Amino acid sequence: MGVSVSTSLGPFVIATLPDMAMAPIDRALRLFQQAFGGEPAGVWSAPGRVNLIGEHTDYNGGLALPIALPQRTYAAVRVRPDGVLRVVSDGMPGGPVSVPLTEVGPGSPGGWAAYVAGVFWALRDAGYAVPGADVALSSSVPVGAGLSSSAAVECSVGAALSDLTDLGLLADLDGRRRLATVCQRAENDIAGAPTGGMDQLASMLGTAGHALLLDCRDGSTQAVPFDLAAHGLALLVVDTRAPHALVDGQYAARRHTCQEAATALGVSSLREVGLPYLAHTLARLPDDVTRRRVRHVVTEIDRVGRFADAVEAADWRLAGTLMVASHESLRDDYEVSCQELDLVVKTAMAAGAWGARMTGGGFGGCAIALVDAASASSVEAAVLAAFAGAGWSSPVPFLVTPADGAGRDQ
């Protein structure tokens, strides 16, 4: 049922692609019936996210500005009375993974099922009574592209468990924030990916037509209108198909450097380092690598606030300039870009984009470009031609608009 593909989500590899002629909600339902028999109690979904600006700021107590994507992961779920989790995905090889919930913990189960089992574990650890369940997953979120496919899995499952066990966590913003924290713990503690909380918050709190201004120091959020179509603009995402993984040590190494720098500076997080004091602060740090990492974080936090203001003022020229500055900082100071991401940004700007930057954790994945809607197809064509000229596999460009967060679909 599909063709071979090589890509990654955390430590595991997808072996087959499902029948893409079917909508993912229908694929989830069919897979549930095939794997477990009968019907699920319902289907829940959660979106991936793309970050407009504010990279590697979340775990530094900073600001970020993501949007929830139209692309979603769907979870068909039915509770079980025996305390066992059985989970299957049409994007993963083999049949269902089965694990007693009492055996879920760091390193167990291994592989992709950890992202699902971790949600059960984190809810139980938070004091919620969660039974076993049968779970079938299908997704339209590109995997391995830095668009938070893992958070979409976690949040779709978390939403299902909240409804099926009457936890009420989807009813208001506070509940959704608590559920996002649960899903982040699943990823950090069970799947072993040391991500910040931006991905899960975007997946839980996203609203159509808006970006989410997220203050990672106190967890507060603000909806920022982001209706590009009203201004004749569009947001182009380009999946470079250069593999993106957060469990290979590079992401963790940068997070560790930032934590060590904050300790050396005597602050709780790099958010406490104000931009006016940056030069003095950098002089207190022990080496050039640390100085560059801190410089990116401090200047990126400043760029997020200025970008949000620019969007609200419809100052697209300034917004685009900030996007390019963000990419250059990620490329040169944080060193998380790659040739494919750099080529997308260079080509999009040459083709007339207002701004462009890599997005996500880096080391592959996606770049975004703010473009005039009328010229989106020409920017896409320029990027495709540039990759062909470089002798690389074709990237996958697509347009996105902000979508709603996790919830029940059926």
Q: What are phi and psi of 280, to 5 degrees?
A: -65, -40
Q: Where are the beta strands (DSSP E) in 81-209?
A: 84-89, 97-100, 132-139
Instruction: Please give the Cα distance from 248 to 11 (Å, whole number).
Output: 8
Instruction: State which H helix or E strand residue 316 sits in.
Output: helix 316-332
Q: Where are the beta strands (DSSP E) in 129-258?
A: 132-139, 210-215, 221-225, 233-239
**Distance from the Cα of residue 385 to its chain's centroid:** 28
Q: Which residues pair with residue 12 across a beta bridge?
A: 9
Our CA dihedral for 252, 216, 363, 264, rounded to 10 degrees, sits at: -50
Instruction: Please give the Cα distance from 301 to 313 (Å, whole number).
Output: 19
**Is 142 in contact with 71 (CB distance < 8 Å)?**
yes
CB-side neighbour CA atoms (13 Å) of 374: 3
Q: What are phi and psi of 399, to 5 degrees?
A: -90, 145
Long-range contacts of 251-258 (CB under 8 A, 24+ apart): 251/193, 251/194, 251/195, 251/361, 251/362, 251/363, 252/194, 254/56, 254/293, 254/334, 254/336, 255/56, 255/59, 255/194, 257/289, 257/290, 257/293, 258/56, 258/59, 258/60, 258/293, 258/294, 258/297
**40 CB neighbour count, 10 Å cutoff:** 23
162 token code pair: 């909240």
Cβ-in-10-Å burial (0-12, 13-18, 19+) of 371 comes to buried
Q: Where are the beta strands (DSSP E) in 53-207?
A: 63-64, 66-80, 84-89, 97-100, 132-139
User: Which of the following is catalytic: 134, 163, 199, 333?
Assistant: 199
Tell me if residue 163 is catalytic: no
Q: How many helices (H) and strands (E) does the chain have?
A: 11, 15
Active site residues: 199
